[in-house]
Amino acid sequence: MRKGPKGEQFYRKRKSHLSGATMRVNQNTVLLGQKVILVPYTTEHVPRYHEWMKSEELQRLTASEPLTLEQEYAMQHSWREDTDSEALRRGVGRECTFIVLDAEKWQAQPDLAEESCMVGDVNLFLTDLQDPTLGEIEVMIAEPSYRRRGFGTEAVLMMMAYGMTTLGLNKFEAKIGQGNEPSICMFKKLHFEQVTMSDIFQEVTLRLLVSEPERQWLLEQTSHMEERQYRGRSWWSREANSC
């Protein structure tokens, strides 16, 4: 799938392109950041996600095909429930997905539905049969009012930290359309280096090798991040009301 030209908010690809097992390691995990909260993709999020992907602009910029609401629910169920023991054992063919929420809105209004706080999603794909320590990362900030405000950058940093500490990754790749200079610049600011350019697919591949200095830098950038157990929106309502 190709990426769009508008920068970090459109760096993503449709989740349906993967074969093999999906990944459930993060299905009970919430990551708390400064701008964003990352939560697992649940049925509660499907209607809003489906509305996003009705946009012809998003379809074009994300190289996605429109799905029916029923197909979106099936996709979410596949991510949540499907397993392939051999693929999971080998650590490949997996996808780690978080929905990106507005942290300020999510925390300030405990009774507000999670769907109302959604701004995008961030994904890691582990599909390299030869190297299970390599993850391809992508992000989409679908809500226009949240673009170019650092939400995508923090989501990527938090996802990389999670991939490094929880999934054992030490290499990250980003595949970006050649004309997508804002997104290329964003990843370069995050210490990614361009390694290949494909004229056929009109995309560049950027890679980050997590050396010890890079590991320390990434941990410093995400030192504010908290990982907690996710039990749905009702859990945060109880936490907030008990304070």
Residues of the chain with pLDDT under 50: 1-22, 84-92, 238, 242-243
Q: Which helix (H) or strand (E) holds 185?
A: helix 181-189
pTM of the model: 0.84
At 231 the pLDDT is: 78
pLDDT (0 to 100) of residue 157: 99
Query: In the chain, what are the domain boundaries?
Result: 8-225
Alpha-carbon distance 87 to 211, whole Å? 27
Q: In the beta sheet, which residues pair with residue 134?
A: 171
pLDDT at residue 6 in the model: 38
Residue 129: the pLDDT is 82
**Domain spanning 8-225, CATH architecture:** 3-Layer(aba) Sandwich (3.40)
The predicted-structure confidence for 114-133, as pLDDT tens digits, reads as follows 999 999 999 999 888 889 99
pLDDT at 2: 30
pLDDT for res 128: 84
Q: What is the pLDDT of residues 142-161, one digit of tens each?
A: 999 999 999 999 999 999 99
| Start-to-end CA span in the chain (Å) | 45
